[in-house]
Structure 1
Amino acid sequence: MIKFPKHMIVVLKRSEMMKSSYGSSSSRNDQEVIIRPHITVLCHKYELYAVVNYSKTPRVGGRYNADIRCEDEIWRRFEDRSVSESSLNGVFRNESSTHRSSDACLLVYRRREQSAGDSGEHQSPRSCDPPLAEQKKSSSLRKSASHLDQRSQIPTEAQHQGLEAHKERLMTQVLEAVDGVTYEEAEVALDQNNWSFTPAAQQLKVDHLYNITQYTREKCRHTLLMVNWDLQRALRVLFPPYSQGSPL
């Protein structure tokens, strides 16, 4: 028997953390989503009663607020220090209405209890269950999948150890190829380049030149290409005092 929750929370992934050799940063997804006041999951109907929004502001970067459908069936906007009538009252006029939003980051639905007078669709809890034959088939498939999964996990430990050893070898090669790079920087560069040695080492060399000179990344990359990715020769080209033994 499938049990459906009384409340259903839909989280919209609006931001994503990006890691690089310079630290972490976040990027925001401002794409509009279509919000429906009612949704149906199998035979269960859910109605929207709360929307959490995150909007950008010039001074503080952004702030949260919430639109909540109160007990009197009126939508209200809850801010940090105030409560006002929400604009959703003029949007959700019927079940077919929709709302587009680029600020919504969390939707809260609650299951609407069905009664005998609800379109004449009074259903017992088991009426939403799949047919018996389908349940047996699903159970059989789960058992087969479990058996195959157990068999496929036999060599997993050995494969994992081999993969870790390969990564360690790549880390050592990168640390030897690029002077001054840290273990963490090498690991990040390899991870960003699908654990491929050559592009990871080249990225770190560009980063090194960029950090100690006043040139753009494009200029640093172009110079390294000219000297076949020899970091010492590139330093002499971009920083003449370096070729005379002057400290950087």
Structure 2
Amino acid sequence: MNEVQLNKNVIEIKALKKIYEVGGQEIQALRGVNLSISEGEFVAIMGPSGSGKSTMMNVIGCLDHPDTGKYYLDGYSILDARENELSEIRNQKLGFVFQKFYLLPRTTALANVELPMMYAGIPAKERRERAVEALRSVGLAERMYNKPNELSGGQQQRVSIARALVNNPVILLADEPTGALDTKTSVEIMELFQGLNKQGKTIVLVTHELEIAEYAKRLISFRDGDIERDESITNRRISSRMASL
């Protein structure tokens, strides 16, 4: 399968700042960040605790509001959007995958995947068809009627990925998606993300593990509220090999 050609920017961030007040002191979480992410990219964001990476992910996900700057998501000016508009944008433009699976325990995998479409007002027949297809796409066609306690951790994360995909979001946001998984299952989940990216899905991943970040194609490292490095994974691997010679 040929890889998708990159084209328009689905994320465009300019001079973004975010300040928190903690104990009467101002903490600059983001210090004028500039960032563009193109359609079809697979980007990993890393950085130490307090570097700004989590704040950046929350801003990209429309879960936190910056103080100044500009943020365009698929052409929409996020800083100008009202709260009800942000809720609609989150549901239609973004798919979220977290370290915790956040599945409803008493409902089937299929019902969990249908949930975002219920909020979007999609008719029941279409919801079911799309949920079935999403579960098939993550390799869970035979587990769609199982409840979470009948699934392994990796299978539960696959359900959460299917749920994130079901509204065909512009961007898939994954925040430490392998944090609760063992090594073998983490590899399976990251290979699933790679497969989705090859199909054209834009993915932004936050992780503290370099081995996980290297499944992406681009690595952005944060430090002290700004981007310290922005490099392709291929170039990084070449540099690492050269340094070890």
Please classify the TM superposition score into its range, dividing by the shorter chain length.
Answer: under 0.3
Q: Which has the higher contact order (CA 8 A, sep 6+)?
A: 2
For normalisation by structure 2, the TM-score amounts to: 0.20
Structure label with greater radius of gyration: 1
For normalisation by structure 1, the TM-score amounts to: 0.20
